[in-house]
Amino acid sequence: MRYEFRLGVDTIDIKNLIFIDETGIKKALTRHYGICVDGGRVYDERPGNKGKNITVIGAMSDEGLIATMTWAGSLNTASFLVFMSANITTSVVDGSNCSYG
């Protein structure tokens, strides 16, 4: 089954692909201390409260970066659809050579 999948993937034109990736940033996720060159501990300021997570999502094609978006909070269906409708659907519609849905 993997072999058949690989054969199918080999037939897709790279110009018809858009790659989407998402990551999250948690500002309060910091170390309590670091390690100094001499082996001692290094202390620094840390956020006093947890704050909101920050989500970053981006899309790229063979021509480069298409779109990025950041917002406070986690990625959910509603925020993903906002990203898709504002950025990706126009790229797919404009790409007249796109033959995959």
The answer to whether residue 45 sits within a structural domain is yes
User: Residue 71: pLDDT above 80?
Assistant: yes
The answer to whether residue 4 sits within a structural domain is no
Start-to-end CA distance of the chain, whole Å, equals 22
The answer to whether residue 69 sits within a structural domain is yes
The answer to whether residue 27 sits within a structural domain is yes
The answer to whether residue 3 sits within a structural domain is no
More confident residue, 16 or 58: 58
Q: Residue 65: its pLDDT value, please?
A: 94
Q: Do residues 45 and 32 make contact, with C-beta atoms less than 8 angstroms apart?
A: no
More confident residue, 26 or 23: 23
| 61 membership: H or E segment, kind and range | strand 54-61
If one counts the domains in the chain, the total is: 1
User: Residue 39: pLDDT above 50?
Assistant: yes
Q: How confident is the model at residue 101 (pLDDT cuts 50, 70, 90)?
A: very low
The answer to whether residue 5 sits within a structural domain is no
**What contacts 22, CB < 8 A, 6 or more positions away?**
55, 56, 57, 58, 75
Q: Residue 19: its pLDDT value, please?
A: 93
CATH number, domain containing residue 88: 3.30.420.10
Domain with 69 in it: 10-94
